[in-house]
Amino acid sequence: MTDSPLRILLMAAEMVPFAKTGGLADVTGALPKALKMQGHDVRVAMPRYGRIDRERFQVGEALASYPVPMDDHSEDAALLHAVVTSAGGDVPVYMIDNAHYYDRDGIYMYEDDADRFIFFCRATLEGIKRVGWQPDVIHCHDWHTAIVPNWLKTIYKDDPFYTNTACVYTIHNLAYQGVFGYRVLEIAGVDEFGFIAHPDTPALNDVVDFMGRGIYYADIINTVSETYANEILMPEFGEGLDPLLRDRRDRLYGVLNGIDTEINNPATDQFLVKRYDAGNLAGKVECKLDLQREAGLPQSRTIPLIGIISRLADQKGFDLIDQIIEPLLRNNDLQIVILGTGDQRYHERLTNMRARFPKQIAAFRTFNAQISQKIYAGSDMFLMPSRFEPSGLSQMIALRYGSIPIVRETGGLADTVRNFDPTTGEGNGFSFQLYDSMALYAAIIRALENYHYRNTWQQLMLRAMSADHSWATSARRYIELYRRAIATRTERPPRETYNKGE
Ligand code: ADP
């Protein structure tokens, strides 16, 4: 039956509300709730990091201790259990517990990350088998879980529990591929199949590229916007994997992310000094004054305030911002508030700018959900000039809070922001094409000019706030992909061109 409910297991390294470093966690937090709303039996698996408060989230135990094959031995995992409540019902969340791998301060950037995520994946497959909950489809996200499609086509191929399980693999950011050495194949138990090397990607000949494996082995591959799905087929955006992606383009899709409209709602957001909606915008001005106070900037209702919430990385266009920030501040009456962490050189640059333009720019160099919501609400414009952007959530959240995005036309930014045309009155933001600092500067100036036409700006805000960026539509598209994966599951033996490691 084509409309029968599916059993769907999402596997990911992070998930809201338990652990978040970026958009991935927002997606894995919100998509299951939307799938649940549509009547499916969806569960999520993630590692139980040390920072997750077991009491606060009422984390219980599903399986006390069971062996997980790793390398030439086995190690013990416990399967923990929590729930995320949603309007459609509770979403069960399995957490893989192992003190050695996960009792650390952070989530990533450890030397043994390959081992940590292989263990997580293997413990999940072994754990749900013991629980006896058999998924129709496993939905894997990013390199941390890319070994799963590889296993389903190799060492689990003849396992009766998984013979009918299909796999969808979502690329959230092709730039983070998880590249390791041969030893990882032994740890994952797939060394007999060797490296996967494509004739057009010699760089893959002697490394283990988890992302590449996910792309090669999954039944369906998707990324998080239609534009990015097309972009990554080209060398400019393909990060070296475009030949592999072109081979599989008949199974490659783009599904735009949504945002969690319960968490990101200016009418109910508990972090705001005053709540507001499209019917009553008065609260937004209060939020602006509150933000200016908190940022140590002069309070003004009328000065245009540009917000930035971002990882401080080249991907996000900080090299462009860097080139124009001085003339921008010197020549224009505006304020900028930045929230972000990342590259040291950008931290230093911001400190320097703050010292020189204390009335115009303020930076919070931290990761903080409360400040982020205050910036979405308190800013008039939201700047996101990314070099590439698989989907981007921040611009959608900004729209919902009536902060008008200024973006580069790439990936999900191109799919969500339409350049404002004053002659027709159409559009919901300001965008530019060339990755070039003058093009960025011109887009900001256009936004500043239009800001002074109060009616125009009000129309822009209302249009932005009333657009639907919820997960409902995208969740339906994922269901289609899950069914397609189930219907088109095929064997995927390692190809002759693929090398055996020595
Ligand atoms: P990416 O996943 O590439 O970092 P996205 O735009 O897809 O970018 O998602 C970023 C998410 O992380 C948004 O929800 C944004 O509000 C949030 N975020 C980014 N930086 C911070 C920060 N310093 N503090 C709080 N939230 C942040």
- Ligand 1 atom at shortest distance from the alpha carbon of 172: 2
Q: How far is CA 7 from CA 134, 314, 425, 485, in A?
A: 7, 39, 45, 13
Average pLDDT over residues 419-430: 95
The per-residue pLDDT for 60 is: 97
Alpha carbon distance 244, 98 (integer Å): 34
Identify the pLDDT of residue 490: 85
What is the best residue among 310, 365, 379 to mutate for testing ligand 1's pocket, by most ligand atoms within 8 Å of CB? 310
Mutate which of 263, 265, 372, 389 for ligand 1 pocket (most atoms within 8 A of beta carbon): 372
Q: Is the pLDDT of residue 35 over 60?
A: yes
Confidence tier at 495 by pLDDT (50, 70, 90): low
pLDDT tens digits, residue range 240-266? Answer: 999 999 999 999 999 999 998 989 999
Position 93 pLDDT exceeds 90: yes
Query: Could you tell me the distance, in angstroms and rounded to a whole number, from the CA of residue 20 to the centre of ligand 1?
Result: 9
Give the pLDDT confidence score for residue 262 in this predicted structure.
Answer: 87
pLDDT of residue 501: 46
142: left (phi over 0), alpha (psi -120 to 50) or beta: left
Ligand 1 residue neighbourhood (C-beta within 6 Å): 22-23, 26, 309-311, 339-341, 367-369, 372, 391-394, 397
CA of 339 to the centre of ligand 1 (A): 9
* d(CA 496, ligand 1 centre) in Å: 42
pLDDT at 201: 84
Structure tokens at 258: 């949504």
**Element of type H or E holding 328:** helix 318-331
Structure tokens at 332: 């224009």
Strand partners, 83: 92
Query: Residue 144: which of 97, 98, 179 has the closest Cα?
Result: 179
Ligand 1 atom showing the smallest separation from residue 26 Cα: 14
Mean pLDDT of 395-418: 98
What pLDDT sits at residue 204?
A: 81
Mean pLDDT of 464-486: 96
Residue 24 has pLDDT above 60, yes or no: yes
Write the CB contacts of 385 (distance below 8 Å, at least 6 apart in sequence).
316, 317, 320, 321, 406, 407, 408, 432, 440, 443
* Distance in angstroms (rounded) separating the CA atoms of residues 91 and 82: 9
Chain position carrying tokens 């919430």: 309
pLDDT value at residue 3: 79
Backbone φ and ψ for 86, nearest 5 degrees, come out as -150, 165
Q: Are 94 and 63 in contact (CB under 8 A)?
A: no
The whole-number pLDDT of residue 264 equals 95
Q: What is the mean pLDDT of the chain?
A: 95
User: Is the C-alpha dihedral spanning 252, 179, 13, 468 positive or negative?
Assistant: negative
> What's the pLDDT band for 451 if we cut at 50, 70, 90?
very high
Report the pLDDT averaged over residues 88-101. 97
In this prediction, what percent of the chain has a pLDDT beyond 90?
92
**What is the average per-residue pLDDT within 381-393?**
97
CA 276 – ligand 1 centroid, Å: 22
Q: Is the pLDDT of residue 493 over 80?
A: no
C-beta of residue 229 within 8 angstroms of C-beta of residue 364 = no
The pLDDT, as a whole number, for residue 494 is 62
pLDDT at 199: 82
Average pLDDT over residues 259-277: 95
Q: Residue 372 Cα, ligand 1 centroid: separation in angstroms?
A: 8
What's the distance, CA 346 to chain centroid? Answer: 22
Of 9, 300, 353, nearest in space to 148 by CA: 9
For ligand 1, atom 24, the nearest C-alpha belongs to: 367
Q: How far is CA 142 from CA 62, 195, 483, in A?
A: 26, 19, 21
Residue 492's pLDDT band, with cuts at 50, 70 and 90, is: confident
- Which pLDDT score, from 0 to 100, does residue 318 have? 96
Query: Does the structure show a pLDDT above 70 at 427?
Result: yes
Ligand 1 atom nearest to CA at 366:
23
pLDDT, tens only, 115-158: 999 999 999 999 999 999 999 999 999 999 999 999 999 999 99
Tens digits of residue pLDDT in 324-349? 999 999 999 999 999 999 999 999 99
Closest-CA residue, ligand 1 atom 13, reads 394
Tell which atom from ligand 1 comes closest to the C-alpha of 395. Answer: 6
Tokens, residue 38: 């549509």
Q: Average pLDDT for residues 382-386, to the nearest whole number?
A: 98
Q: Say how many Å lie between the CA of residue 310 and the centre of ligand 1.
A: 5
Q: Is the pLDDT of residue 500 over 60?
A: no
Closest protein CA for atom 9 of ligand 1:
23
pLDDT score, position 119: 98
Question: What pLDDT was estimated at residue 309?
Answer: 98
pLDDT of 496 over the 60 cut: no
**Contact indicator for 69, 189 with CB cutoff of 8 Å:** yes
For residue 345, the surrounding DSSP H or E stretch is: helix 344-356
Residue 498 has pLDDT above 80, yes or no: no
Most informative mutation of 311, 312, 370 for ligand 1 (most atoms within 8 A of CB): 311
Sign of CA dihedral 149, 225, 372, 89: negative
Cα angle, residue 240 at apex, residues 252 and 109 outer, rounded to 5°: 95
pLDDT digits (tens, 9 = 90+) for 170-222: 999 999 999 999 999 999 999 988 888 788 888 888 899 999 999 999 999 99
DSSP code at position 250: G
Distance 404 CA to ligand 1 centre (A): 17
